[in-house]
Structures are given as C-alpha cells and as structure tokens.
Amino acid sequence: MIQKRIENLKEEFCKSYGSSDNIRVFNAPGRVNIIGEHTDYNGGLVLPVAIDKSILAVARVREDRILNLKSMNFSMEVSASLDDIRYRKEDDWANYPKGVAWVLEKEGLKLKGADIIFEGEIPIGSGLSSSAAIEVVSMITLLKLSNKKLPLKKIPLLCRKAENEFVGVNCGIMDQFIVTFGKKNHALILDCKTLDYKLVPFQSKGTILIVGNTKVKRGLANSEYNKRVKECAEGVKILKEYINREEIEFLSDITKEEFSRYRDKIPAPIDKRCEHVINENERVRQAVDCLEKGDLENLGKLLNASHYSLRDLYEVSCRELDVMVESSLKIKGVYGARMTGAGFGGCIIALVGEKAKEEFVKRVGRDYQRKLGIKPDFYTCQVGDGAKEI
Ligand code: GLA
C-alpha cells in the first residue's frame, strides 16, 4: 500500500522536477489519543498511539536556498526563500513546512533548499493530527537533506513552536511527540511537563480500535481552542493565590483535594475547565493501569467518563460527536467510546471487541446518517511507528 503511494509520488516528482535521481522519502503518521484530552498544555498526562495513516514527503536537496513545496492533496504550490520566510495566509497548508523551516533557521541551523512533494491520507481537520504529521515529516526531511542533527526530543518541541508561533495555534506537545516517538503496537504515556515517557503494549487480543469520522471539520485555529488554553491559565493563576506550593506551574500540579477546597474561588466556566483537566489527568493514570492489566471493561468506562467530561465540563464536543459516541455505546461488544483530539468535530474512537466490528460499522453508520444526514467514515486503526526515512 505505502509502496504504491511512493511510486505515484516518485512519478509526480519526475514530472515536476525533471528526474527522480537522488530523491529521498520520509513518512510521518497521524495519531489518535486514547485518553488524556486537553491535558497536554496543562502539564498533564496523555496516552496517544501513532496510526497507520500517514503523510509522505519525497524530496531532493537543492544547491540554493529555495524551498519548492507541492502537495498531491492541494492544487496550490508554494515557493519560498529560506532567507525570507514569512507566514502568508494565502499559502494555506504550506505554512506548516514553511513554519518548520523558519523555526530551524531561528535555531541557527543553516538549511539547504529543497524540492518537496507531500502526499497525505490522514483526513485533514479531523482531529487525527495531519498538522503534526506534516510538521514532523517536514522537519526530518529538512534536517536530513541539510545533513543536520538534533537531539530527538527537540523535534516535537520545535514543531510545536512552529505551530504556536508561526501558524498561531497554541497547541500542546502531544501530537508532535507521538508522531515522532510512536511505536508499532504500543501506546505512549507522556508526562507533558517533564517529557518523560513510557511505551505500553497496546495489542489486546480480540479487541480493536475503531476510528469514526463525523466528517465535520474543525478549524482548530479559529475554534475555541486558544480560549480554553487561556481559561486554564487563568484557573492556575487563581488557585496559586490560595495554594502555597512553589512548584505549581500547571493545573496538573494541583491535587483533587486542593481543587475542591478552593473551587468556589474560581468563576464559571473556568471552574468546570479546571475540574475536567484535574480529573482527566487521574483517568490517564488509571487507564495505563487498566491497559497493563488487560482490564478492557474499566478502560472502556474511563473512555466514556472522559467523553462526558469533555462534553459537559470542557465543552469541546458537538452534536455529531455526541451522537456517534451514544450510538456506539448501544452496540454489544463495545467497551467504551469518546471523542479524540481537540474536539469541535473530527473523530471518535471506540474500543470494540473484534466480533462486534461489522455490527458496529453498520448500525452506528446507519444511526448517525439517519440523525444527521451525513455518511460517516470508519476504519480499524492499526497502531504504527513514528516518523522515519523510508
Ligand atoms: C489538539 C492539540 C493537542 C492537544 C489536543 C487536545 O490535538 O494539537 O496539543 O491539546 O488537541 O487534547
């Protein structure tokens, strides 16, 4: 499958840039987050997996400082000089690779120009991290072509910086981290404050992870995302006035007991936002425990609790996500379901006994289409590796 995609890309490369001599191929996956939503920018825990849908980049180094960027998914092409990289709204998708080049140059890494063609199969704006994938694949492409090396943890950090400062979305570190460090058949538990992480086997026999795409696109930059980031920062600021512990930097540093003692000092809706983050963090700990013990029943319950909290307290769900989660939970053999990613549209994940798969796809699909008039997409998600050269 991936070989076919690479062949097509090579052909396109030849057509666009004359030959395919000396080209190199790089790949970065999308991700789904099992649990730990909106905890990353609060210094908390997350438990994502890299998936088998990816973005490929075929590239060749140039002797000048020009970046030529094309994509099989968009008609617009962009050329930019590495000596003058600026955000331009009309450059649309190309602002991601441009942002990555900008951040690397800002780090003092003198890059070489490149001709790059991207091709992606991660549905865009669906909460499966197509943006982190294009950032990370661009970063490894530019580094390798320019013969530059960085400590591995710098890659997600710098990609996040590009998204925060160049594209203008105040996202956390989760997506770029799992896209870089993901491992086949493993989930990754990440402490977003310390960046310590551990890989946990994720290969429950007889159980699958189904991704359901509501087909409602979410515009992260235009959405309420940045507002939630601000609300959480406001919550910490207020709580710090009452809790006398120096190490408090993020909401994740605050215990449940401390929060309930001072909750009434926080105005609505910030109190609800804080409650979600503090409980969600605890749910991630419990989820890892369940995963290690193979306790799918309780893992499923944690997924459901996470969804309800995102819906009622954090208020980032939407009717389409809620309908799909509710329909999923009616199917026998489904352990749990929740929205995944930032919310406001995009995808859900459901932990499903393998035998229930057909029934799930048929009935949830029918129910969703009847209620919303949209035909959803479903796919069984295989847990894959992080970004690499192929
Ligand atoms: C988006 C962001 C992540 C994270 C999730 C919500 O995917 O890019 O950093 O905040 O939303 O958990």
pLDDT digits (tens, 9 = 90+) for 135-148: 999 999 999 999 99
pLDDT number for residue 198: 98
Q: Which residue from 163, 117, 170, 158 is spatially nearest to 11, judged by alpha carbons?
A: 117
Q: Which residue puts its alpha carbon closest to atom 8 of ligand 1?
A: 171
Question: What would the pLDDT profile of 202-259 be if each residue is shown by its tens digit?
Answer: 976 789 999 999 999 875 546 789 999 999 999 999 999 999 898 999 999 999 999 9
What was the pLDDT predicted at 203? 73
Q: Is 264 labeled as catalytic in the residue annotation?
A: no
128 lines ligand 1 (CB under 6 A): no
Q: How sure is the predictor about 31, in pLDDT bands with cuts at 50, 70 and 90?
A: very high
The per-residue pLDDT for 89 is 95
Q: Is-cis flag, bond preceding 267, omega within 30?
A: no
Within its chain, how far is the Cα of 224 from the centroid? 17
For 358, other C-beta atoms within 10 Å of its C-beta total 9
Check if 190 has its Cβ closer than 6 Å to any atom of ligand 1. Answer: no
List the domains of the chain with CATH numbers: 2-202 (3.30.230.10), 208-381 (3.30.70.890)
**How far does residue 147's CA lie from ligand 1's centre (Å)?**
31
Q: Which entry of 175, 253, 271, 367 is annotated as an active-site residue?
A: 175
Q: Which residues pair with 56 in a beta bridge?
A: 27, 119
**Residue with the two structure tokens 């086949």:** 184
C-alpha of residue 127 to centroid of ligand 1, in Å: 8
pLDDT digits (tens, 9 = 90+) for 160-192: 999 999 999 899 999 999 999 999 999 999 999
Other C-beta atoms closer than 10 Å to the C-beta of 103 total 23
SS3 300: helix
Per-residue pLDDT band at 332 (split at 50, 70, 90): very high
Q: Which of 31, 35, 38 for mutating ligand 1's site (highest number of atoms within 8 Å of CB)?
A: 38
Give the contacts of 131 (CB within 8 A, at least 6 positions apart). Answer: 96, 163, 167, 169, 175, 220
CA distance 21 to 23: 6
Cα separation, 36 vs 307, in Å, equals: 10
Q: Is the CB of 135 under 6 A from ligand 1?
A: no
* pLDDT tens digits for range 273-287: 999 999 999 999 999
Average pLDDT over all residues of the chain = 96
pLDDT above 80 (res 349): yes
State both tokens at 226. 């940045």
Check: CB of residue 388 under 8 Å from CB of residue 348. Answer: no
CA 294 to ligand 1 center in whole angstroms: 26
Q: Is residue 363 predicted with pLDDT exceeding 90?
A: yes
**Tell me: the pLDDT tens digits for 104-127?**
999 999 999 999 999 999 998 889
- Does any ligand 1 atom lie closer than 6 A to the CB of residue 40? yes
Q: Which atom of ligand 1 is nearest to the CA of 173?
A: 9
Q: Give the number of the atom of ligand 1 that is nearest the alpha carbon of residue 169.
A: 8
Residue in the block written with tokens 């990289």: 85
How far from 80 is each of 64, 201, 264, CA to CA, in Å?
Answer: 11, 42, 52
Instruction: Write out the E strands in the chain.
Output: 24-35, 45-61, 66-71, 78-81, 114-120, 186-191, 197-201, 207-213, 334-340, 347-353, 377-381, 388-389
pTM: 0.96
Cβ pair 44, 232 in contact under 8 A: no
The count of C-alpha atoms lying within 13 angstroms of the C-alpha of 140, restricted to the half-sphere facing its C-beta, is 27
What percent of the chain lies above the pLDDT cut of 90?
A: 93
Show the tokens assigned to 168.
Answer: 């203008």
Q: Which of 239, 318, 313, 238 is nearest to 277 (CA)?
A: 313
Neighbours of 92 (CB within 10 A): 12
Would the CB of 38 count as within 6 Å of ligand 1?
yes
- What DSSP string describes 68-121? EEEETT-S--EEEETTS----GGGGGGHHHHHHHHHHHHTT--PPPEEEEEEE-
Q: Is the CB of 341 under 6 A from ligand 1?
A: yes
Ligand 1 centroid from CA 226, angstroms: 11
pLDDT average, residue stretch 293-315: 97
Nearest Cα residue to 353 out of 378, 321, 380: 380
Give the CB-side neighbour count of residue 344, counting CA atoms within 13 A.
Answer: 14
Percentage of the chain modeled with pLDDT above 70: 99
The predicted structure's pLDDT at residue 224 = 86
Question: Which letter does DSSP use for residue 349 in this model?
Answer: E
pLDDT of 41 higher than 80: yes
